[in-house]
Amino acid sequence: MATVEDLGVSAFINIVSAFAFLILFAVLRIQPINDRVYFPKWYIGGDRSSPRVRGRGVGKFVNLNLRTYFTFLNWMPGALRMSESEIIQHAGLDSAVYLRIYILGLKVFVPITVLALLVLIPVNVSGGTLLNLNKKIMYSDIDKLSISNVNSGSQRFWIHLLMAYLFTIWTLYVLYKEYDNVAFMRLHFLASKNRRVDQFTVVVRNVPHVSGHSISESVDQFFRRNHPDHYIGHQAVYNANKFAKLVRQKERLQNWLDYYQLKYERHPDRRPTTKRGFFGLCGERVDAIEYYRENIRRFDEKIAYERQRILKDPKAIMPVAFVTFDSRWGAAVCAQTQQSKNPTKWLTEWAPEPRDVYWENLPIPFVSLSIRRLIISILVFALVFFYMIPIAFVQSLANLEGLEKVAPFLRPVIEVKVVKSFLQGFLPGLALKIFLYILPTVLMIMSKVEGYLSLSSLERKAAAKYYYFMLVNVFLGSIITGTAFEQLYSFIHQSPTQ
């Protein structure tokens, strides 16, 4: 059972780790090789074209100016002094909202912590129930600070009830105000930006096949008939997997060509060369720039041929299209209304931003979507509730007494004071994090199988699944396996008279 000393060791390790990562971040951000990684908006906006600290040789990659290492945390006061509008302009709306999450945590937990320290803990400590019990109930020094140290039927429970209402009302009030501020920031940010194509576009799925008409003709006729005042045009979606593969291959070749051209510009006296073989490791050595230009030219021909083949093949058109309107109102009406008597046909919803589209899920039929989401719901339920088995194993590491009984040969190591504090205070959390490391990837795969159209939707659904998992397994599961089972073991092994 963890003690105050164990929690102190865990807190010390976490605080030291946090400062170590902060210093590592501050050192990495002043290295010239990382300048575009940490300041991308400055390069995109044209405010910076090269690293502020530059040198020759190793200095191109590593900051050799020792004076900057003594002032590498100066960015923190400046960041704290920036207004929200400056943060949005400098780093984007997401960064401003992310910082407000920390402010929200301070607003919620600082008053609650002060009230708990000044009111609840003195009330619990003065109870003395655990000290007067004759039963062999397992408890630690931390339990003396909790509600379990209050006598049954004591008037002190009214203070706990009052504090529970105060904490709840305060938390809900702060959340309401914060949501109001964030919603205003979002609306103001959207209103201040230029109009975007996705604000006037709707994606329609499950377009029915009409004999004698292509998918594109069916979409055009349907929306001209049902939305004649605001419909502008549409773009059918083609099955262009091979085309996309050729484009990706060409982009990789283009990156290599750009690399060798920049290399040649820096050293005009030396023409760069490469080998024709596997990854440039074997084969005949040739001029690198001409070699990649020739390969790109051949890929351009293949891409043009594949494009024409797709456009002429009616089977390449999928039953999906992006429909554009001349007003946001027209697009909103179409996206939020049922278009056909058959609720499984002509399904419309807001189109994602072009870079946000997850193309693989566009042609999934309605019936398949329903089946997929049912199956994934069952799998998520099973994952959430059956993942409790490894969680229980991880949580059992906190009970070193039980571990000693199972593995007596570890007792000399475990009984060392420093080792015991480290194992009880830090190792269970570390092992749990290792278990949870692969979980987001699994949940993202499940969300993709469900058939959502945008990458942002996939991330939101995966985050929702992760929240339910954390609530059931990490929060409730840790309580049940870490405390309730321990007390149950103690009760089972008591004599019948107790």
Q: What is the predicted pLDDT for the residue at 446?
A: 93
Q: What is the predicted pLDDT for the residue at 399?
A: 57
Q: What is the predicted pLDDT for the residue at 131?
A: 60
Q: Out of 294-303, 359-368, 430-439, 441-450, pick the least confident.
A: 430-439
Q: With cut-offs at 50, 70 and 90, classify the pLDDT of residue 346.
A: very high
pTM over 0.85: no
Segment 168-189 shows an average pLDDT of: 92
Q: What is the predicted pLDDT for the residue at 366?
A: 85
Q: Which of 135, 146, 329 is CA-nearest to residue 231?
A: 329
Alpha carbons 329 and 199: distance in angstroms, whole number: 10
Q: With cut-offs at 50, 70 and 90, classify the pLDDT of residue 400.
A: low
Q: What is the pLDDT of residues 446-479, one digit of tens each?
A: 999 998 989 999 999 999 999 888 888 777 766 6
Q: What is the predicted pLDDT for the residue at 279?
A: 64
| pLDDT of residue 7 exceeding 90 | no
| pLDDT of residue 226 exceeding 70 | yes
Alpha carbons 147 and 152: distance in angstroms, whole number: 10
Alpha carbons 376 and 305: distance in angstroms, whole number: 40
Q: What is the predicted pLDDT for the residue at 275?
A: 80
Segment 484-489 shows an average pLDDT of: 61
| pLDDT of residue 498 exceeding 60 | no
Q: Out of 90-104, 268-282, 290-304, 396-410, pick the least confident.
A: 396-410
Q: What is the predicted pLDDT for the residue at 259?
A: 87
Alpha carbons 220 and 209: distance in angstroms, whole number: 13
Segment 373-386 shows an average pLDDT of: 89
| pLDDT of residue 487 exceeding 80 | no
Q: What is the predicted pLDDT for the residue at 325?
A: 93
Q: Where are the domains of the chain?
A: 82-196, 197-352, 367-492
Q: How many percent of the chain have pLDDT more than 70?
A: 81
Q: With cut-offs at 50, 70 and 90, classify the pLDDT of residue 1.
A: low
Q: With cut-offs at 50, 70 and 90, classify the pLDDT of residue 333.
A: very high
Q: What is the predicted pLDDT for the residue at 192?
A: 79
Alpha carbons 82 and 88: distance in angstroms, whole number: 10
- The H or E element containing residue 201 is strand 201-205
Segment 70-81 shows an average pLDDT of: 79
- The H or E element containing residue 325 is strand 317-325
Q: How many percent of the chain have pLDDT more than 90?
A: 26
Q: With cut-offs at 50, 70 and 90, classify the pLDDT of residue 321.
A: very high
Alpha carbons 240 and 245: distance in angstroms, whole number: 9
| Average pLDDT taken over every residue of the chain | 82
- The separation between the first and the last C-alpha atoms of the chain, rounded to the nearest angstrom, is 22
Alpha carbons 120 and 111: distance in angstroms, whole number: 13
Q: Which of 439, 303, 304, 465 is CA-nearest to residue 380?
A: 465
Q: What is the pLDDT of residues 160-178, one digit of tens each?
A: 899 999 999 999 999 999 9
The residue type of 185 is M
| pLDDT of residue 260 exceeding 70 | yes
Q: What is the pLDDT of residues 95-153, one digit of tens each?
A: 889 889 988 999 999 999 999 889 888 888 877 666 666 555 556 667 777 777 777 77
Segment 76-81 shows an average pLDDT of: 80
Segment 277-289 shows an average pLDDT of: 76
Q: With cut-offs at 50, 70 and 90, classify the pLDDT of residue 430.
A: low
| pLDDT of residue 81 exceeding 90 | no
| pLDDT of residue 29 exceeding 60 | yes
- The H or E element containing residue 232 is strand 231-238
Q: Is the model more confident about 379 or about 487?
A: 379
